[in-house]
């Protein structure tokens, strides 16, 4: 079964709490999207983290045909500066390109989005909030809603969907995901935002119940080396 | 308490607060910024004080002052920032005051880079500051171990009245892992801090925090006392883990993140029928000399595996004392060793030994 991503809008903005798993989702999403579209661009807008950014996997992504855009001085420049390549305007303006914006964590990371607000027209973009119920500040409905509110205020545009990405890395079980699902369902009820995907390790996905709200999205741990 | 997912720098902060840390003085530097950020947010909630100093030098001297007043206090930085703190660290060691210093190591020398490294081995085990002093240095390999060691770090600092350093390569600061905060009982019986400068109440002579001894005989006496303390720490506080020592043809030594990569390499080699053991120092000082007495007769050599250019080799030669030849494999500058790279080196060594 291939995952149908055609219902998502052309520009997908991936936001959420620091360490919720945005990058792992974004990279997996980009690879899945490439199976359905010819032109896919992944823009690493993380101006917060020095490590574990999607640009670290640029070689692999580009060999899969995905255009990767990151810092103004290239993917490997480990400068501790909040700079974004001007090339990002290309895919945002080219309506033939499917775009994923992998944004840094929290409202601090989302600040970079405000500069591109003009491209986020209602109906033309999706902004997915990645939620991991095992992260310190997003263990409660209030915590998640506060993050959504702060990120929306900073980015200047509303979130359009939720992604349950509740995990404990290699310790993740179906129960881990379902515990998170309870929280995400409550957030969905309180905010009116739909649950778009439930992302979990490909080994865990088959153990999830069938009637679960949201589309199961199997992922691999691409950002972490085997020894981690 | 259930496991939650934390970034290393956050987990260090949470563990420190749980261990009773009440004051944090720091200055930003990558890759440890999430730690002061966490402390700025969480320490006031725990009734403590966070203060961003105007420099690393100011921060460590604030630590000196707070520690002199008997407070549980911490600072953190990364390699070049730790270099700046050395003056304060030797003063604190000289004045026999407790504190915890976190060093999330990045590539050097100089400003180096912001990617992970272990090239502060000499800086943390050989002083860095002036004088005959030592730091008790912990080097956890994962976040759970780091969280578990934090209480001990504060307790040992108080017990021995000495600065303790918690070392993590940049990866330990930045990696996200599940951690559990367990209830722990202190190993130490901690006496009252009757030396703290908290006011005399007109009942006793003032306590003085000081590292200046102008009388050479007094200073020598002070140094002899310090050495006795370091001998006690050396006897009691060395920590290590051994892995797969039985029938090992070679014993590789690595700490922190590098030991995790080495462990993977050892497991892969085992499948090929090559037995390699590991000694993982959990304390860098005292260096776990005792572990090396457990090495079996099958061992033909020691291999230091590092994210630095051979800084631990000297300690392996000292502890080997001629028993084994000492080899080295390392990457530097923020490059992380791969299991394949380590395996290549080991196969080359073992092939050559045949």
Lowest mean pLDDT among A83-87, B1-5, B249-253, B291-295: B1-5
Average pLDDT (B136-140) is 98
Chain B residues close to A78, C-beta within 8 Å: 113-115, 334
* pLDDT at residue B305 tops 70: yes
Q: Judge whether B170 is closer than 8 Å to chain A, CB to CB.
A: yes
pLDDT in tens, A95-122: 999 999 999 999 999 999 999 999 999 9
Look at B7 and A169 and tell me if their CB atoms are within 8 Å. Answer: no
pLDDT at position A79 is 73
pLDDT at position B1 is 60
Query: Which of the four CATH numbers 3.40.50.300, 3.30.420.40, 3.40.50.920, 3.40.470.10 does domain B241-353 have?
Result: 3.40.50.920
Collect contacts of B341-345 with beta carbons under 8 A, ≥24 apart: B342/B252, B342/B261, B342/B262, B342/B265, B342/B305, B343/B265, B343/B268, B343/B269, B345/B303
- CB contacts < 8 A, A to B, total 62
Look at B176 and A52 and tell me if their CB atoms are within 8 Å. Answer: yes
pLDDT at position B298 is 98
Q: Please give the Cα distance from B60 to B88 (Å, whole number).
A: 6
* pLDDT at residue B352 tops 80: no
pLDDT in tens, B160-199: 999 999 999 999 999 999 999 998 888 999 999 999 999 9
Look at A80 and B334 and tell me if their CB atoms are within 8 Å. Answer: no
- The residue assigned the tokens 């005051």 is B97
pLDDT in tens, B237-286: 999 999 999 999 999 999 999 999 999 999 999 999 999 999 999 999 99
Look at B30 and A80 and tell me if their CB atoms are within 8 Å. Answer: yes
- The packing angle between helices B79-94 and B56-68, to 10°, is 30
Task: Give B29→chain A minimum CA distance, Å.
Answer: 10
Chain A residues close to B339, C-beta within 8 Å: 226-227
Chain B residues close to A49, C-beta within 8 Å: 174
Task: Give B57→chain A minimum CA distance, Å.
Answer: 22
Look at A139 and B5 and tell me if their CB atoms are within 8 Å. Answer: no
Interface test with B, best of A25, A49, A50 (most B CBs within 10 A): A50
Q: What are the backbone dihedrals phi and psi of residue B306, each rounded to the nearest 5 degrees, phi first?
A: -140, 160
Q: Judge whether B263 is closer than 8 Å to chain A, CB to CB.
A: yes
Nearest to A50 among B114, B263, B339 (CB): B114
Q: Please give the Cα distance from A140 to A137 (Å, whole number).
A: 8
Average pLDDT, whole number, for chain B?
A: 96
Tell me the percentage of chain B whose pLDDT exceeds 90: 97
Confidence grade of residue B351 (pLDDT, cut at 50, 70, 90)? confident
Q: Judge whether B340 is closer than 8 Å to chain A, CB to CB.
A: no
A 185-214 → B contacts, CB under 8 A: none
Average pLDDT (B139-145) is 98
* pLDDT at residue A82 tops 80: no
Chain A residues close to B170, C-beta within 8 Å: 50-51
Instruction: Tell me if B140 sits within 8 A of B149, measured CB to CB.
Output: yes
CATH topology of domain B4-237: Rossmann fold (3.40.50)
Enumerate the domain spans of chain B: 4-237, 241-353
Q: Please give the Cα distance from A143 to A139 (Å, whole number).
A: 7
Average pLDDT, whole number, for chain A?
A: 94
Look at B5 and A227 and tell me if their CB atoms are within 8 Å. Answer: no
Q: Please give the Cα distance from A5 to B108 (Å, whole number).
A: 45
Q: Please give the Cα distance from A126 to A121 (Å, whole number).
A: 10
Q: What is the DSSP string of B144-208?
A: HHHHHHHHHHHHHHHHHTSEEEEEEEHHHHH-EEEE-------SS-PPP-TTS-S--TTSSPPP-
Residue B31: asked if its preceding bond is cis (omega within 30°), the reply is yes
Nearest to A168 among B114, B174, B178 (CB): B178
pLDDT at position B112 is 95
Look at A134 and B264 and tell me if their CB atoms are within 8 Å. Answer: no
B 10-69 → A contacts, CB under 8 A: 10, 30-31
pLDDT in tens, A14-24: 999 988 999 99
Query: Which of the four CATH numbers 3.40.50.300, 3.90.79.10, 3.40.50.10860, 3.90.550.10 does domain A11-219 have?
Result: 3.40.50.300
Average pLDDT (A165-192) is 97
Instruction: Tell me if B123 sits within 8 A of B82, measured CB to CB.
Output: yes
Average pLDDT (A190-198) is 98
* pLDDT at residue B354 tops 80: no
Q: Is residue B151 exposed (0-12), middle (13-18) or buried (19+ Cβ within 10 Å)? A: buried
Give the C-alpha distances (Å, rounded to integers) separating A146 from A37, A107, A125, A165, A214: 35, 10, 22, 18, 22
Tell me the percentage of chain B whose pLDDT exceeds 70: 99
Instruction: Tell me if A31 sits within 8 A of A110, measured CB to CB.
Output: no
Please write down the HEC assignment for all residues of B233-289: HHHHHCCEEEECCCCCCEEEECCHHHHHHHHHHHHHHHHCCCCEEEEEECEEECCCH
Lowest mean pLDDT among A61-65, B58-62, B124-128, B254-258: B124-128
Look at B113 and A52 and tell me if their CB atoms are within 8 Å. Answer: no
pLDDT in tens, B8-51: 999 999 999 999 999 999 999 999 999 999 999 999 999 999 99
Look at A134 and B5 and tell me if their CB atoms are within 8 Å. Answer: yes
Nearest to B174 among A50, A132, A169 (CB): A50
Q: Please give the Cα distance from B87 to B63 (Å, whole number).
A: 12
What is the number of H-type helices and E-type strands within chain A? 6, 8
Residue A15's DSSP bridge partners are A129
Q: Please give the Cα distance from B201 to A124 (Å, whole number).
A: 72
* pLDDT at residue A162 tops 90: yes
pLDDT at position A74 is 86
* pLDDT at residue B353 tops 60: no
Q: Please give the Cα distance from B233 to B228 (Å, whole number).
A: 9
* pLDDT at residue A1 tops 60: no
Look at A78 and B260 and tell me if their CB atoms are within 8 Å. Answer: no
Q: Judge whether A137 is closer than 8 Å to chain B, CB to CB.
A: no
């Amino acid at each position: 079964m291939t995952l149908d991503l055609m219902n998502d809008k052309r520009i997908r903005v991936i936001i959420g709490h620091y360490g919720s798993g945005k990058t792992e989702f974004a990279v997996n999403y980009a690879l899945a999207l490439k199976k359905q579209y010819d032109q896919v661009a992944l823009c690493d807008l993380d101006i917060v983290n020095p490590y574990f950014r999607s640009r670290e996997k640029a070689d692999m992504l580009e060999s899969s045909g995905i255009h990767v855009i990151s810092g103004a001085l290239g993917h490997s420049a480990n400068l501790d500066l909040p700079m974004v390549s001007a090339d990002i305007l290309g895919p945002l303006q080219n309506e033939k390109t499917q775009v994923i914006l992998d944004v840094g964590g929290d409202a601090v990371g989302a600040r970079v989005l405000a500069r591109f607000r003009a491209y986020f027209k209602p109906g033309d973009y999706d902004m997915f909030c990645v939620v991991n119920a095992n992260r310190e500040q997003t263990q409660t409905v209030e915590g998640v809603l506060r993050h959504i509110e702060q990120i929306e205020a900073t980015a200047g545009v509303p979130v359009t969907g939720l992604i349950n990405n509740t995990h404990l890395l290699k310790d993740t079980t179906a129960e881990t995901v379902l515990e998170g699902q309870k929280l995400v369902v409550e957030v969905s009820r309180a905010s009116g935002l739909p649950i778009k995907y439930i992302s979990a390790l490909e080994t865990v996905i088959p153990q999830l119940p069938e009637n679960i709200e949201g589309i199961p999205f199997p992922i691999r741990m691409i950002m972490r080396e085997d020894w981690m | 308490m259930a496991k939650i997912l934390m970034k290393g720098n956050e987990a260090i902060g949470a563990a420190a607060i749980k261990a009773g840390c009440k004051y944090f003085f720091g200055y930003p530097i990558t890759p440890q910024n999430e730690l002061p950020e966490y402390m700025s947010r969480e320490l006031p909630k725990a009734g403590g004080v966070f203060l961003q100093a105007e420099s690393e030098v100011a921060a460590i001297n604030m630590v000196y002052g707070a520690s002199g007043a008997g407070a549980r206090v911490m600072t953190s930085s990364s390699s070049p920032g730790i270099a700046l703190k050395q003056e304060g660290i030797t003063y604190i060691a000289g004045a026999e005051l407790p504190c915890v210093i976190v060093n999330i190591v990045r590539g050097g020398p100089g400003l180096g880079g912001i990617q992970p490294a272990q090239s502060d081995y000499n800086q943390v085990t050989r002083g860095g500051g002036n004088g005959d002093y030592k730091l008790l240095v912990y080097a956890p390999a994962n976040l759970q171990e780091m969280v578990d060691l934090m209480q001990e770090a504060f307790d040992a600092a108080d017990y021995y009245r000495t600065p303790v350093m918690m070392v993590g390569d940049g990866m330990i600061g930045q990696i996200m892992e599940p951690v559990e905060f367990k209830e722990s009982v202190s190993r130490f019986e901690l006496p009252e801090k009757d030396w703290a400068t908290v006011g005399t109440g007109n009942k006793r002579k003032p306590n003085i925090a000081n590292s200046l001894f102008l009388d050479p005989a007094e200073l020598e006496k002070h140094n002899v006392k310090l050495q006795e303390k370091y001998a006690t720490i050396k006897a009691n506080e060395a920590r290590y883990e051994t892995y797969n020592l039985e029938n090992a043809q070679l014993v590789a030594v690595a700490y922190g993140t590098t030991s995790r990569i080495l462990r993977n390499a050892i497991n892969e080699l085992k499948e090929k029928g090559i037995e390699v053991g590991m000694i993982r120092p959990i304390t860098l000082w005292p260096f776990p000399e005792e572990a090396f007495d457990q090495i079996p007769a099958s061992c033909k050599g020691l291999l230091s595996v590092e994210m630095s250019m051979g800084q631990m080799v000297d300690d392996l030669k000292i502890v080997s004392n001629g028993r084994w030849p000492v080899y080295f494999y390392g990457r530097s500058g923020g490059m992380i060793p791969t299991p394949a790279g380590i395996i290549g080196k080991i196969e080359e060594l073992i092939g050559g030994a045949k």
